[in-house]
Structure 1
Amino acid sequence: MPDDLHAQPTADVAEAELASEGIARSDTSPFVPLRQPIFRAVWFASLASNFGGLVQAVGASWMMASISPSAEMVALVQASTTLPVMLFSLAAGAISDNYDRRRIMLTAQFFMLAVSVGLAACAWLGLITPWLLLSFTFLIGCGTALNNPAWQSSVGDMVPRRDVPAAVTLNSVAFNIARSVGPAIGGAIVAAAGAVAAFVINAFSYIGLITVLARWQPPKVERLLPRETLFIAMGAGVRYVAMSPNIRAVILRAFAFGFGAIVGLALLPLVARDLIRGGPLTYGILLGGFGAGAVAGAFMSARLRRVMSTEALVRSTFIAYAVGILLVAFSRTIWMTIPGLFVCGACWVLALSTFNATVQLSAPRWVVGRALAIYQMATFGGMAMGSWAWGRTALLFGTDRGLQLSAIALLIGASLGLLYRLPPLEELNLDPLSRWREPKVAVDIEPRSGPVIVTVEYIIKPEDVVAFLNVMAERRRIRRRDGARHWTLLRDLTDPTLWFERYDSPTWVEYVRQNQRVTQADAEIGERVRALHSGPNPPVVHRMIERQTASLTSAPAAAPSTSVPVATPLGDPSRAG
């Protein structure tokens, strides 16, 4: 293992060093992130771990097909792995944004190692039942739910922000390289030595990644404010996503894709057993065809993104996946089924890597773990629901009919792009604006003191009112997205040019946190507000803390007021509030 994992520079510093050495870089090359030592080490360790996980998945799916005749139970193996991601990802994302992501990933890896050892032991002793098998796969899914937000949000700590799309694609390549060969080898292992051997191999596959993470010493980030509590952090993540139209569109489309596309994996054991009349080796070969297509899709992604918009690319993947799955539905030979699965695999990685990169580039670092978690909840929630729905359909009407109906669902998902278009995959400057400074106050105040009420005064000419209302609608979205409550815009009845922006924060520390979340990309709105303000510059902000009245038996030395204003002239609109 390379020694430089102990002293890994930040990704942006490393990029500057490459530039100073005259090393050419290619924004379209998927291999650029491998120049970062930590990303390279984690990537190779993840490749081995993914290989073990896919061997285990083959063993679990085929064991369920062997011990239970129900198509619904076979499909539930996939659902039991994806359901925890839907249930627990938001909490895991909040944890990843507030605690050491490396420690979180180590905890998740050790947990999955312990569960895998337990699964292997129970299978060796002959104790496995259908529901016990589902319980073990559910627990492995819980480990995945804890690990994924921390791992995916750590990508931005390992590579420069501009290389995030390539890094996301490379992660898909690692998984799908394993998928292209792992299932076939897993099928051979299950056929030759049984599912127990597959479970043992998976347990050993965690060791390499645990070793790499244990040796990595990422730079410590100074935390100026206390950590948010779990539920407050979860609420902040939900609020940010709800107030971000770009991320909302991604989440809806990802749910639709996950619901329809999971059929290719959920019913694949039944395709191998019932449509092609094969065994575990056939199942592994089919999974390998899916994985090979995914690898091909990953290497095509950069070229396709140069010639197609994000929306056109994703819409095409929905349609092409539907065509591929229809070929699988009507095929009765392995040689016709594999091309259909190849197309499905390519579309799978193209769509999911595009969704993931769009979310990462649409969220600042303070909330990226939660944004990714909510995206994963939507995607895996769609997969869990789709696994059950298509398994139930196959049970009632046959495997081929379930595949055909899923193709219709994918075409409906493609049509959602007419209403919910994906934004261009472009990089926004989401670094903190860092212009705001905590104001000095004349009243003793604690971090937990509140509520804090803020008003900002604007002088707006009559001819600028329409433009002002439009820009303030965007300011309202940004304020509320970052944590402001009860935002209102008021107009003075005696002076129609005088306007007041008003909002509040539950505590002083939340008010400070909200202002520190303003990004460079948000500065444009502040500049537009400032340009429309025609009064004495800069605008004036009043910060007040709410106080309750009380009956006093004697007059205090200084009578408390119902509110304590702090009026501050602001040098620029980004500090207004």
Structure 2
Amino acid sequence: MALTTPSPPQEATPTLWTPFTFAVFRAIWIASVVSNIGTWMQNVAGVWLVTTLTTSALLVALMQTATSLPAFLLSMPAGAIADLIDRRRLLLFTQGFMAVVALLLGGLTLLGEVSAFGVLALTFVLGIGAAINAPVWQTVTVELVPRRVLGFAITLNGVSNNIARAIGPAIGGVIIAYYSPGWVFLVNAVSFLGTFAVIYTWKRQADVTSGPAENFMGALRAGMRYVQYSPAIYAVLFRTFAFSFGASAMWGLLSVVIARRLHLSSGSYGVMLSWLGAGAIAGAFLMGRVGNRLNYNQRVLLGTLVFVGTNVALALAPSILWLYPVMFVSGVAWLMTMTSFSTTVQLNVPKWVQARVVSMYMLVFQAGLSLGSVVWGELADRASLELALLATAGWMLLSMLLAIPFPMRSGEGLNLEPAGHWPTPTIAGDVDPDDGPVVVMVEYQVEPENQPAFRLAAEQLTRLRLRDGSLRAGVFTDIAAPTRITEFFYVATWGEHERQHHRFTKEDLAVEARVRQLHSGPEPPRVTHFLAFPKSTNVEVPTPYETMESPQ
């Protein structure tokens, strides 16, 4: 039976359970729980296998890098691809690819033909599939539920991963103890089949193209430019890197704490991850009840403070009994912080650039995990495990100061649908989408007493022009007539300017309206489009000197 996205039931105040009323979201969520269980089983088996194959804490910590580095390298290209091609087909490819890699790793392990470096290498290849899959998987949620329940849907996605974290490590630990890590890898390969089947039956509505199609490099540049001129987005990116760089110590060194400092088995490592997962699940219900009392900025600060204590406890706790409640509270903090980052990003980004911005968010997050794993692992090898964990706690404490220059801004209530209010410019003759560059000029009449306010409003509008595709933008005053002010923006091609028409959102209308309210002329502001002078010669060319007749 094919899955479609039905109309939502009668609108009511959304709750944590509201996303489950949408059939496709519900089916994909269930399949993702199964797949995530397999992934967490694989993570435990991979880390523990490397721990038994080598004595180097650095190599163990590099398992986190092997998982995270592909995302660092491929997140941005993957985001551009996800915005350009059919997302359903891309998901089918990535799920099949990861199943094959997990199957290969399982077979080699059972045959005894794998080394610590081999596990790292195949984990890296599996991470490539995950890196391509992640941006499109994140943006699919936006298509399955309406904007008003998106925050709850993202929280449930976090619950899915943490249910798996609570169950998967325990199951993985039992299989490792009684059988072999190779069987865990094979189970993970099978777990991808449920997600593949659900995605295969999903009849996704085709995207309606707005403006000329983008090419890959142009799409990549557009995504980076959008982030560059979006303060709400790059504030999240700074905070995300600082948090993930510090949090990587817990993920990268937890198995070393269990095996080397506390001298316990793989089962204890799995139980610790289960406590983390249980805390995250509890955190989802806690956020559903009291989450509205804290804004996203406050949630991140609280989560960071909890992780300061987490790292201190991992360094100094005398027994594992002390760490059980610490891991539980850390799970709550992890879910609260990560859903705050993810929801803030997705609520502040329109659909046309969504996968690209999400991919950059994930790139920054994975960069923090990858770099942090190397730094803290190397410090643990060269100094001591305890010093590395205490240094991490100090880092996270200092990172809380970033809330001052980079506060997180909620995107709830923003209307990011295309405004569609710009009239199509009059064109004399044919203009190819690749023709350019293009200069657009908007002429205003602004009285002297209104010019300070106009300048401030125009600065915001200039940022929007640059964000949506302009290479340059600015405002000029006619020195002969100071009340005549001209806004200009410079775009690479005519096709890119047409895409600007579709990128300007209803939320942006308020910025443009503030500028136009200060225009005092009898007519609306005059808009003129200029295209670069054609390559073909269309003016009279003087006759070369040598061919000119001598004067009589």
- Normalising by structure 2, we get a TM-score of 0.95
- Partners of 1:459 and 1:534 within 8 A in 2: yes
Q: Counterpart of 1:414?
A: 400
2:24 to 34, 38, 57: 38
1:278 aligned to 2:264?
yes
Q: Counterpart of 1:564?
A: none
Off by >4 Å, runs of 4+ in structure 1: 548-555
Whichever residue aligns with residue 240 of structure 1, its letter is: Y
Q: Counterpart of 1:81?
A: 67
SS of structure 1 residue aligned to 2:13: coil
CA offsets, 1:262-318, max 9 Å, x none? Answer: 211111111110122111111101111111111122222233431112211111110
Whichever residue aligns with residue 420 of structure 2, its letter is: S
- Partners of 2:22 and 2:144 within 8 A in 1: yes
1:548 Cα deviation from its structure 2 partner: 5.3
Q: Using the alignment, how far apart are the partners of 1:54 and 1:211 within structure 2?
A: 20
1:51 Cα deviation from its structure 2 partner: 0.2
1:328 aligned to 2:328?
no
Whichever residue aligns with residue 214 of structure 2, its letter is: E
Aligned positions of 1:120-269 closer than 5 A: 120-269=106-255
1:312 to 276, 283, 298: 298
SS of structure 2 residue aligned to 1:217: coil
SS of structure 1 residue aligned to 2:394: helix
1:461 aligned to 2:458?
no
Q: Using the alignment, how far apart are the partners of 1:105 and 1:475 within structure 2?
A: 37
**1:510 and 1:345, CA in 2 relative to 1: closer, same or farther beyond 3 A?**
same
Whichever residue aligns with residue 281 of structure 2, its letter is: V
Q: Counterpart of 1:558?
A: none
Q: Using the alignment, how far apart are the partners of 2:540 and 2:398 within structure 1?
A: 72
**1:272 and 1:442, CA in 2 relative to 1: closer, same or farther beyond 3 A?**
same
Runs of 5+ unmatched residues, structure 1: 556-577
Q: Counterpart of 2:429?
A: 443
**1:289 and 1:539, CA in 2 relative to 1: closer, same or farther beyond 3 A?**
same
Q: Counterpart of 2:484?
A: 498
1:470 aligned to 2:456?
yes
Q: Using the alignment, how far apart are the partners of 1:552 and 1:248 within structure 2?
A: 47
1:542 aligned to 2:528?
yes
Question: More deviation in 42-51 or 297-306?
Answer: 297-306
Q: Counterpart of 1:94?
A: 80
- Partners of 2:70 and 2:128 within 8 A in 1: yes
Q: Using the alignment, how far apart are the partners of 2:234 and 2:265 within structure 1?
A: 42
Q: Using the alignment, how far apart are the partners of 1:452 and 1:526 within structure 2?
A: 20
SS of structure 2 residue aligned to 1:544: strand
- Partners of 1:325 and 1:340 within 8 A in 2: no
1:553 Cα deviation from its structure 2 partner: 10
**1:505 and 1:539, CA in 2 relative to 1: closer, same or farther beyond 3 A?**
same
Q: Counterpart of 1:571?
A: none
Q: Using the alignment, how far apart are the partners of 2:164 and 2:533 within structure 1?
A: 61
1:401 to 387, 404, 413: 387
CA offsets, 1:506-558, max 9 Å, x none? Answer: 11111100121000100001111121000122111111111157767978xxx
CA offsets, 1:106-126, max 9 Å, x none? Answer: 111111011111111111221
Whichever residue aligns with residue 382 of structure 1, its letter is: G
Q: Counterpart of 2:5?
A: 8
Whichever residue aligns with residue 26 of structure 1, its letter is: T
1:26 aligned to 2:13?
yes
Q: Using the alignment, how far apart are the partners of 1:538 and 1:406 within structure 2?
A: 58
- Partners of 2:212 and 2:498 within 8 A in 1: no
Q: Counterpart of 1:561?
A: none
Question: More deviation in 417-426 or 129-138?
Answer: 417-426
SS of structure 2 residue aligned to 1:325: helix
Percent identity, aligned pairs only, is: 36
SS of structure 2 residue aligned to 1:446: coil
- Partners of 2:348 and 2:410 within 8 A in 1: no
Q: Counterpart of 2:500?
A: 514
Q: How many residues align?
A: 542
1:381 to 360, 367, 381: 367
1:402 Cα deviation from its structure 2 partner: 1.7
- Partners of 1:325 and 1:344 within 8 A in 2: no
Q: Using the alignment, how far apart are the partners of 1:311 and 1:551 within structure 2?
A: 59
Q: Using the alignment, how far apart are the partners of 2:450 and 2:234 within structure 1?
A: 31
SS of structure 2 residue aligned to 1:327: helix
Q: Using the alignment, how far apart are the partners of 1:219 and 1:120 within structure 2?
A: 37
1:448 Cα deviation from its structure 2 partner: 1.1
Question: More deviation in 493-502 or 294-303?
Answer: 294-303
1:236 Cα deviation from its structure 2 partner: 0.5
- Partners of 1:457 and 1:501 within 8 A in 2: yes
- Partners of 2:348 and 2:411 within 8 A in 1: no
1:160 Cα deviation from its structure 2 partner: 0.3
Q: Using the alignment, how far apart are the partners of 1:208 and 1:503 within structure 2?
A: 49
User: How large is the RMSD of aligned CA atoms in angstroms?
Assistant: 1.6
Q: Using the alignment, how far apart are the partners of 2:325 and 2:540 within structure 1?
A: 87
Runs of 5+ unmatched residues, structure 2: 542-552
Question: More deviation in 330-339 or 59-68?
Answer: 330-339
